[in-house]
Every structure is written in C-alpha cells, then in structure tokens.
Amino acid sequence: MRPRLAGCLVGALVAAGLCLAGVLLLGPGQDGVPDTAKSPAPGRREQGEVVAERRLDERRMELTIRSPALDATTKVRLLLPRGWESRTDWPVLWLLHGGLDDETSWTAKTDVEALTRDSGVLVVMPDGGRCGSYSDWWNGGAGGPPRWETYHLKELLPLLEERYRAGGRRAVAGYSMGGQGAMLYAAKGRFEAAASFSGALHILGPGAPQAVLAGTMAGCFGTDWKRIWGDPERQRSVWRAHNPYDLADRLKGVELYVAAGEGDLVEDLANGAARAFAGRLEQLGVPVRTHFYRGGHNHTYWQRELHRAFPMLMAAVGVRPA
C-alpha cells in the first residue's frame, strides 16, 4: 500500500497539485494566518514580541510570538543544543514545514531530534501558516497581513539572535511548501545553505498556475486564491518574485541541495519543478547537489533527504561531524 501523503491534500486536491503550488486548504473566511486570535491593528509594535515561553523538555522550547507582520500571534518550536546557555552565537538550522502542517511537524513526524542531538546547532522550526507560501501576500495590491516573509526574516530572525542565542551562520531546509520557502529565503542572502525536499521550485512551470487555480477552487473555501500572488498573467512580476526558478541567479555562493521523487501525482509535479530549477541553476553555473528517486510525497522520504543533506548543511554553518 502506498504511504499516506503528508504536507498536502489528498484525493481530488492531490490531482490538482495544490500543496505543491504553496496554496492549501482553508476553512471559511481563513486567510493563512495561524488559528489564534488576531491582535488589533491600531498601535502595532515595530517588532515581534514573545508573549509566552514554554520549556517542553531538555531540548524542546516553544515560543508564542505576537507579530505585527501577521497581525496575529503565532508559534515557533526550538531544539536547543546541549550547553545552550554557554554561548550566544550558536549555528542555526531553520526547518520549514509544508502545507497543512505547523511548527510541530518536524519533531512529530521525523527523527530530527535524534539527528541533531550532538550536532551543536540550534534548530528553529517556525509556523508558516497552512497556506502561507512563505510570502508577503499581495492582497489585491494592498499588501498587509499575512506577511510571512517579513515575520520570519525581519521579526523572528533578529529576535532569536537577541534573546535565544542564535548566531549569524544559518542554513535552511524545508519540504513541499517549505522547500519553496527555503529557496526563497536563501535568495534573500540570509542563509549559507538551503535544501528543498519535494519543493515548489517553479510555480510558473507548465500547468503550475492552473494547478493553483484548480486546487483553490476545489478546497480553499471563502478565500480568493489570487490574494497570495495575484493573477499569474496580470501580476506576472509578483509571481516571478516568489518563484525560485526566477530567483536562481541570487543563489550564487549558497550551498544547495534539491531532491524530489516520483511515485504519486503531487510528487511527480515536484519532480518536474525540481528538475527545471536544477537545470536553470546549471545554466547559470550555480552548483547544486541533486537527488531524484522513486518515492512519494511524505515524511518517510523527507526524513531520509534531511539525513542526506545534513552534512552539507552543517558544514556550511561551520559545524564539524560529531
């Protein structure tokens, strides 16, 4: 029996390739902001504010953050390195989740705790919204929340450095929607290395915009799919600004890993996008490690690919193998 698909929808929505495009199922009236009470717009703070901190065990810490960029509260899970209190500049590994998942998914569905136990790296797993797409939403040209990129890179990142002993050397990896996010954030120049597992790396490739439309019509009840990036033709520049394929030239100097399988409809879409993205990098002379394999769109393979990419990610942030 084929493993259960994770990080995206199943059935008819799988056929639409919805999670690959970064636009996922929403309930009535939802907009991709976390399912917590929104803070009022008047009197917004200039930066994110930690409103709760909870130590779950020796390594896991959960933060609740009030974000002006999201106009909401949201959570982030940390895996602390051993001796965390002993220094203030730990190398950092960001792990981004896929659609319909959240900040708990990496620890709940993979062995990342065991993998990083002796690595000497601070692991950051932020919520990215059920369909946040690691993007500041276009919202008909008006902008405004949810602004996931702004929250992650301009609110959360400096907050971690100021209060949670994060250093300036960072790597990022993600699966499905998070794979797209990993490459988008690396293109901003904030990370030394980036890895995408089954990511949406060419949202303007053959059939990709149509998959967004079809999937959203089938499942995003009450939400206009164009709120995220607009119309793919009329707002072409907005789509290109969030398309890793079009940003490939900005990844020069970043250590890169790209993986995708073949085995179900969503993963086949991811495979085509990954191969196109890798081909574009090759045209530009940007080195990239690739791994294409037989396998589906689920955490069994994403865990395996994290293990494969892990030595590269650690070397990029100056961590020697244990």
pLDDT attached to residue 306: 98
State how many domains the chain has.
Answer: 1
β-bridge pairing 49-55 and 60-67:
antiparallel
| Residue 42 lies in domain | 12-316
CB atoms within 10 A of CB 50: 13
Whether 149 is in a domain gets the answer: yes
* Residue 224 banded pLDDT, cuts 50, 70, 90: confident
Query: What pLDDT is stored for residue 213 in this prediction?
Result: 60
Give the pair of three-digit tokens for residue 46: 């200039």
- The pLDDT tens digits of the residues spanning 134-172 come to 999 999 999 999 999 999 999 999 999 999 999 999 999
Residue 322 falls within a domain, yes or no?
Answer: no
Assign 173 to helix, strand or coil.
strand
Judge whether 257 lies within some domain.
Answer: yes
Cα–Cα distance, 244 to 201 (Å, whole number):
5
Considering the domain boundaries, does residue 155 fall inside one? yes
- Average pLDDT taken over every residue of the chain: 86
Residue 136 lies in a domain: yes
Length of the chain equals: 322
Question: H or E element: which one contains 159?
Answer: helix 157-163
pLDDT band at 47 (very low <50, low <70, confident <90, very high): confident
- The answer to the question of residue 190 being in a domain is yes
Give 51's contacts (C-beta < 8 A, 6+ positions apart). Answer: 64, 65, 66, 73
Residue 258 sits in a domain whose CATH number is: 3.40.50.1820
pLDDT for 205? 87
Q: Is the peptide bond before 244 cis (omega within 30 degrees of 0)?
A: no
Question: Would you say residue 3 lies in a domain?
Answer: no
In angstroms, the CA 304 to CA 259 distance is 10
For residue 321, is it within any domain?
A: no
pLDDT at 266: 85
